[in-house]
Amino acid sequence: MSTKRLSIFSTILVMMPILIFFFSPSAAIAAKVETLTFTIGIPGKTGCLVCHQDKALVKYELGKPRSLYVNPEDFSRTHAEVTCIDCHTDFTYKSIKPSREDWRVVAGTSCKNCHDEKKKIDHRKNYADYRESIHGRRLLVEKNMNAPTCAGCHNFHRIRRLSDPVEMMEFRKEAYQVCGRCHQDYWDNYNDWFHGKGYKHGAPDAPPCWDCHGAHNILNSKDSNSPTNISRLQDQCAKCHKDADRAFAEYGRYIHSRNDLIRENLVMKIIFTVLDFVKNSYQRVTGYFKIVPS
């Protein structure tokens, strides 16, 4: 083998793994996952916020940028004295980092670590309730990493101070963010005039989901321990409707079923039938003449 051929062969031999590495899709993703784009740290800030207060801080995941920006104002009122790693207890500089789900769950349930008797703060009780709830069981027993954590309802950084009446009132308006975005069907059919429709139009006297269903200890309504179980419903009603008895609690079944009542109404059945007939006739006519509606 001539020297020239040997040099070409050895060049190919060296270049091959490098080319394979750079042109393979997985390599491209792997390379991008750890790519961080940010400007210089904010002057006067220390710790994590040096970088995370930068709005331009993004991380590429599967080719898409994900913002890693943290607004310090979000926790300036609540948890102002709590440091980032108090919640992000699994923070590490090591090369093997926790998965995104783990990262979310650890931070999202870190409330359980916090109690301060002087300030009368003890999140352990709420966590104990959560652990027994349907959400907690999904996460802790079934290991469903997408199950709601504390932060799933209370938010990760912008957590409201619920001991403050104003903040509490604001939080009560967030039932869609807290419950509705996951339980879309129940959110949509929560539209009886007294409760749901009123709530959705800003009535302060209308109840958000957790007033009836409970908050940390939430259970499936079929569970006899659930506050919305038919056997216990009157207690829930009595919170607002003094002296409510079991017969009154029967109304509860209509809170999520006004749509059904409308559908079952004879007059509405006739109207829907006529509307369907008109719609079908229109479609037939347009189909026959091949009219394309603009």
Output the CA–CA distances (angstroms, integers) from residue 71 to 86, 151, 156, 168, in the order listed.
17, 16, 11, 21
Shortest Å distance, C-beta 190 to other proteins: 13
CA 72/CA 249 separation, integer angstroms: 45
Does 168 engage in binding with other proteins (CB under 8 A)? no
Does 169 engage in binding with other proteins (CB under 8 A)? no
CA 100/CA 145 separation, integer angstroms: 10
Shortest Å distance, C-beta 201 to other proteins: 4
CA 129/CA 133 separation, integer angstroms: 6
CA 191/CA 98 separation, integer angstroms: 42
Shortest Å distance, C-beta 226 to other proteins: 20
One character per residue 61-80, x = contact with other proteins (rule: CB under 8 A): --------------------
> Which residues ranging from 228 to 247 are in contact with other proteins (CB under 8 A)?
237, 241-245, 247
Nearer to other proteins, 127 or 199 (CB): 199
State which of residues 4, 118, 201, 222 lies at the interface with other proteins (CB under 8 A).
Answer: 201
Query: Do 145 and 139 touch, CB atoms closer than 8 A?
Result: yes
Does 185 engage in binding with other proteins (CB under 8 A)? no
Does 261 engage in binding with other proteins (CB under 8 A)? yes
Does 251 engage in binding with other proteins (CB under 8 A)? yes
Nearer to other proteins, 106 or 262 (CB): 262
Residues lying near other proteins in the complex (CB under 8 A) are found at 192-193, 197-198, 200-206, 237, 241-245, 247-251, 253-254, 258, 261-262, 265, 267-268
